[in-house]
């Protein structure tokens, strides 16, 4: 079965500092990996995805993520945090070995607070 772990329930970072939100995954085959952000009372918004190729993927709003196959990780990063980045972040995985199903398995989410 596929699973995602986000080990930190909350991450606090000062505005202007770099931020990292951690994600590790478990799948039987090769993964497709996604990051989504959820603002209060709004739906999930897609940030970025890893499919294949370059291990460093760039996404919306200056976010990027690094795929590390040996560590089964896909950490979300941003060089300089903004107060407006404060939100709930979800990592998700899709297992390519599960033929015929395209469901995403999500982590529990990490609340990011950027302090002015």
Q: Which positions lie near other proteins, rule CB under 8 A? A: 4, 32, 34, 36, 41-46, 49, 51, 90, 92, 94, 96, 100-109
Burial code of 88-105, b = ≥16 C-beta within 10 A, e = fewer? bbbbbbbbeeeeeeeebb
In this complex, which beta carbon is closest to other proteins, that of residue 23 or of residue 81?
Answer: 23
**Nearest distance, CB of residue 43 and other proteins, angstroms:** 4
C-alpha to C-alpha distances, 113 to 11, 39, 43, 49, 95, nearest whole angstrom: 6, 12, 19, 23, 30
Q: CA 14, CA 54: separation in Å to the nearest integer?
A: 29
**Nearest distance, CB of residue 107 and other proteins, angstroms:** 5
In this complex, which beta carbon is closest to other proteins, that of residue 14 or of residue 51?
Answer: 51
Q: CA 46, CA 39: separation in Å to the nearest integer?
A: 12
In this complex, which beta carbon is closest to other proteins, that of residue 41 or of residue 116?
Answer: 41
**Nearest distance, CB of residue 41 and other proteins, angstroms:** 8
In this complex, which beta carbon is closest to other proteins, that of residue 19 or of residue 105?
Answer: 105
**Nearest distance, CB of residue 48 and other proteins, angstroms:** 9
The single residue listed with the structure tokens 């982590």 is 107
């Amino acid at each position: 079965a596929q699973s995602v772990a986000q080990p930190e329930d909350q991450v606090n970072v000062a505005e202007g500092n770099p931020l990292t939100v951690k994600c590790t995954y478990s799948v039987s085959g090769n993964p497709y990996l996604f990051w989504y952000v959820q603002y209060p009372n709004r739906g999930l918004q897609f940030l970025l995805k890893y499919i294949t190729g370059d291990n460093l993927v760039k996404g919306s709003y200056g976010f990027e993520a690094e795929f590390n196959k040996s560590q089964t990780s896909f950490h979300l990063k941003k060089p300089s945090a903004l107060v407006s980045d404060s939100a709930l972040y979800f990592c998700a995985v899709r297992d390519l070995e599960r033929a015929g199903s395209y469901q995403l398995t999500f982590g529990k989410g990490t609340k990011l607070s950027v302090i002015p």
